[in-house]
Amino acid sequence: MLKYRKATFDDVEHIHKLINDYAKEGLMLSRSRNSIYENLRDYLIAEDGESLVGCGALHFVWDRLAEIRSLAVDPAMKKSGIGRRLVELLEEDGKERGARLFFTLTYQPGFFAKCAYVETAKEQLPQKVWKECVYCPLYPYCDEVALVKHAE
């Protein structure tokens, strides 16, 4: 039975492996253990029994602006609704805290379009969005797609 919960320290290695397995395939950017530890409060976990089968994070960037990031689902569980549910739960958390605009930078724009995100020019996002980009190996040649969604 699927359960969604906040991440704990015990989840870090599983999160790291799930994200970086996708990163090795060029499907998302990698995350260091250090980054996951520093942002552990941002992460939400999908669990099936004792197995971590999905993760996602909500990162507050600026006034009422939040990023959905590090969204990954175990390949064996793809197309089961886990990713969509993680996005919904992360958005609910953001709305409860006052977020009014959500964005993502992704190599999977089709998935986020199904979640009602709309592609936008990266230049339309506030400068604050780019503060962590300087640590990315692709900086300054970002090839991710930017998508946004206004809170309802």
Q: Identify the CATH number of the domain in which residue 79 sits.
A: 3.40.630.30
Backbone angles phi, psi at 66, to 5 degrees: -135, 145
Tell me the helices (H) and strands (E) count for the chain, helix number first.
4, 7
What's this model's pTM, rounded to 2 decimal places?
0.93
Segment 31-53, tens digit of pLDDT: 999 999 999 999 999 999 999 99
Q: Which domain holds residue 6?
A: 2-150
In whole numbers, what is the pLDDT of the chain averaged over residues?
93
pLDDT grade, residue 143 (50/70/90)? confident
For residues 150 and 137, the answer to whether their CB atoms sit within 8 Å is no
Backbone angles phi, psi at 61, to 5 degrees: -110, -45
Domain count, the chain: 1
